[in-house]
């Protein structure tokens, strides 16, 4: 568990508030069976997940990191560069074929490229985290937060209240079972993949109510929708959501988000991360989700990351990984093409 000072440091140096680099999240990942490492050196912080792939072995992944102190990045580059190179050598010593990083901006990506020499850094075949996230300011009054929404979103929040939707925070087996049922209904309805049930359950079993809550919207006792939200220092983050197939005109998801924002404000949060969006039109399948999320923060521009990059420690294994991944992608596209005919 971090100190209050460390939490504030992560909040200040991470555009998303730093929940993915928190010690709580590292413990959560370990509860899901992932091996982790923690490095904290002279303005450099890196929580690492170790993944293992068939044939090519293991690699290290630093979600939304490494985190580099903004002030020291300007004034103590050589010191931080030396510390970062030590981490790379440690990764190689422990058998990692590459280290996947996610710099906060293009300038930081260029620094990591410079600091990692003679190792090469290459754009990853796919991004692990969303390239864009929508982070809204909730430091003002509740009336100001509502005023910052699109009129239709604000209307739907009020409509859900009029239609008898009630929202509560629940951590019991019944609520989780209902959430898991709605996750599957949402996945089938929208044609999306889901995590394993164990991972969803671990949000509540490995993370305390101080860090994570399950919000459930009900009408006359029946669960209509639910969301998982994390709280870390000054930032609340919408992690996962689901809704049932029945009575979808209840507008329950709108009221759910508003009540989560209200709870975040009660806990002292200043910003609310709605999660991934796509304002650039790169992923058309996210257009509806993007419109819906932007309704809560109408005039907020998304935070844009440069994406995931791989620092290659073992070129032969990385080449094998690249070739096998590209071949798999070709097969998947071919299958999708055939099934559409």
Whether residues 299 and 315 share a domain: the answer is no
Whether residues 168 and 220 share a domain: the answer is yes
> What would the pLDDT profile of 322-339 be if each residue is shown by its tens digit?
999 886 644 334 334 434
> What would the pLDDT profile of 118-154 be if each residue is shown by its tens digit?
999 999 999 999 999 999 999 999 999 999 999 999 9
Whether residues 221 and 235 share a domain: the answer is yes
What burial class does residue 78 get, using C-beta atoms within 10 Å of its C-beta: 0-12 exposed, 13-18 middle, 19+ buried? exposed
Whether residues 69 and 180 share a domain: the answer is no
Give residue 103's domain range. Answer: 4-129+306-340
Distance between CA atoms of residues 277 and 180, nearest Å: 23
Whether residues 244 and 273 share a domain: the answer is yes
Q: Hey, what's the torsion of the CAs at 157, 158, 159, 164, to 10 degrees?
A: 100
Number of domains in the chain: 2
Contact assessment for residue 32 and residue 12, using Cβ atoms and an 8 Å cutoff = no
Whether residues 272 and 329 share a domain: the answer is no
Whether residues 170 and 288 share a domain: the answer is yes
Whether residues 325 and 240 share a domain: the answer is no
Whether residues 103 and 146 share a domain: the answer is no
Whether residues 149 and 291 share a domain: the answer is yes
Distance between CA atoms of residues 159 and 250, nearest Å: 8
Whether residues 195 and 326 share a domain: the answer is no
Return the CATH number at 322: 3.40.630.30
Whether residues 222 and 314 share a domain: the answer is no
> What would the pLDDT profile of 254-268 be if each residue is shown by its tens digit?
999 999 999 999 999
pLDDT band for position 248 (cuts 50, 70, 90): confident
Helix axes 173-190, 197-205, angle to 10 degrees: 140
> What would the pLDDT profile of 270-290 be if each residue is shown by its tens digit?
999 999 999 988 888 889 999
C-alpha distance across the termini of the chain, in Å: 53
């Amino acid at each position: 568990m971090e100190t209050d000072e460390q939490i504030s440091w992560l909040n200040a140096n991470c555009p998303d508030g730093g929940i993915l680099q928190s010690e709580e999240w590292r413990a959560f990942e370990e509860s899901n069976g992932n091996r982790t490492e923690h490095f904290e050196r002279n303005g450099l912080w890196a929580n690492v997940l170790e993944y293992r792939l068939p044939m090519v072995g293991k690699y290290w992944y630093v979600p939304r990191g490494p985190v580099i102190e903004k002030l020291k990045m300007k004034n103590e580059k050589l010191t931080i560069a030396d510390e970062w190179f030590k981490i790379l050598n440690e990764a190689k010593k422990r058998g990692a074929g590459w280290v996947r990083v996610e710099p906060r901006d293009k300038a930081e990506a260029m620094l990591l490229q410079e600091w990692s020499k003679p190792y090469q850094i290459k754009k990853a075949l796919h991004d692990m985290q969303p390239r864009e996230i929508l982070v809204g300011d909730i430091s003002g009054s509740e009336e100001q937060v509502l005023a910052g929404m699109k009129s239709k979103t604000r209307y739907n929040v009020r409509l859900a209240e009029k239609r008898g939707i009630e929202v509560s925070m629940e951590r019991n087996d019944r609520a989780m079972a209902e959430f898991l049922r709605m996750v599957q209904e949402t996945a089938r309805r929208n044609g999306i993949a889901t995590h394993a049930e164990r991972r969803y359950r671990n949000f509540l079993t490995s993370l305390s109510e101080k860090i994570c809550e399950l919000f459930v919207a009900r009408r006359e006792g029946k669960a209509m929708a639910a969301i998982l939200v994390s709280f870390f220092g000054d930032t609340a983050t919408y992690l996962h959501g689901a809704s049932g197939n029945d009575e979808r005109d209840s507008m329950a998801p709108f009221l759910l988000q508003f009540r989560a924002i209200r709870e975040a404000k009660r806990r002292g949060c200043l910003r609310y991360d709605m999660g991934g969006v796509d304002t650039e039109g790169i992923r058309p399948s996210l257009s509806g989700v993007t419109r819906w999320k932007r309704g809560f923060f109408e005039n907020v521009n998304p935070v844009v990351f440069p994406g995931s990059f791989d620092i290659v420690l073992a070129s032969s294994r990385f080449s094998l990984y690249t070739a096998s991944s590209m071949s798999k992608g070709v097969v998947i596209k071919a299958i999708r093409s055939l099934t559409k005919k």
